[in-house]
């Protein structure tokens, strides 16, 4: 099922999945990258690094937690991060003044150049109380567009969890007259 503004209220897309045109706040890109893990394997020739055991990677407001992370880089720039966990968790503030967007699943494939996050295995994307869960989610960090599927292989197995969305309408501020009528 593809989620587009004509299928859902524009308000839902703005409150739950609004994103700036960059994968991160501009301030995040200038922050140092901190990485913690129990083990590391680095290969400068291939540009691939693998970190295992309680992996935590932070840069500004971005934070990735997983059991295992593979980083792919070209010319010392990370182009892709593949994280595995029960669940692997990623969060980041995508637009100044907003709450962080959270992405969780058994596998997170963050494609930096394309500004795409692919989540498989009990995938969840949420901000505040609004949330979308599905077996597979492809989420554009650039546009906020989502593509969610019930299962990874297209089978109609009824034991698979359906796509589930929960979103809350914005709270209306009370006017002075409404308060005086109480």
Q: List phi, psi (to 5°) of 155.
A: -70, 160
Domain boundaries, the chain: 2-180
CA 43/CA 50 separation, integer angstroms: 9
pLDDT of residue 35: 93
9-44 burial, b for 16+ CB within 10 Å, e for fewer? eeebbebbbebbeebbbeebeeeeeeeebeeeeeee
List average pLDDT for each run of 10 residues in the chain, which is 182 residues long.
31 30 61 92 92 94 95 89 96 85 95 91 88 91 82 52 75 59 58
pLDDT of residue 180: 55
Strand (E) or helix (H) holding 75: none
CB 95 within 8 A of CB 115: no
pLDDT of residue 127: 84
CATH topology of domain 2-180: lipopolysaccharide transport protein A fold (2.60.450)
Per-residue tokens: 106: 């058994």
The answer to whether the predicted template modeling score (pTM) of the entire model surpasses 0.75 is no
CB atoms within 10 A of CB 2: 10
């Amino acid at each position: 099922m593809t989620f587009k503004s004509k299928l859902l209220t524009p308000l839902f897309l703005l409150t739950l999945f609004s994103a700036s045109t960059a994968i991160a706040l501009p301030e995040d890109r200038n922050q140092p990258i901190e990485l913690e893990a129990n083990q590391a394997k680095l290969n400068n020739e291939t540009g691939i690094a693998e970190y295992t055991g309680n992996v935590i990677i932070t840069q500004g407001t971005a934070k990735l937690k997983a059991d295992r992370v593979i980083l792919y880089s070209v010319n010392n720039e990370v182009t892709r991060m593949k994280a595995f966990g029960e669940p692997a968790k990623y969060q980041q503030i995508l637009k100044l003044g907003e709450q962080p967007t959270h992405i969780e699943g058994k596998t997170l494939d963050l494609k930096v150049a394309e500004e795409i996050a692919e989540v498989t295995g009990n995938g969840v994307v949420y901000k505040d109380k609004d949330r979308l869960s599905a077996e597979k989610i492809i989420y554009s960090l650039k546009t906020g567009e989502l593509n969610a599927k019930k299962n990874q292989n297209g089978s109609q197995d009824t034991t698979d969890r359906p796509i589930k969305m929960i979103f809350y309408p914005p709270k209306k501020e009370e006017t002075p007259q409404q308060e005086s009528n109480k």
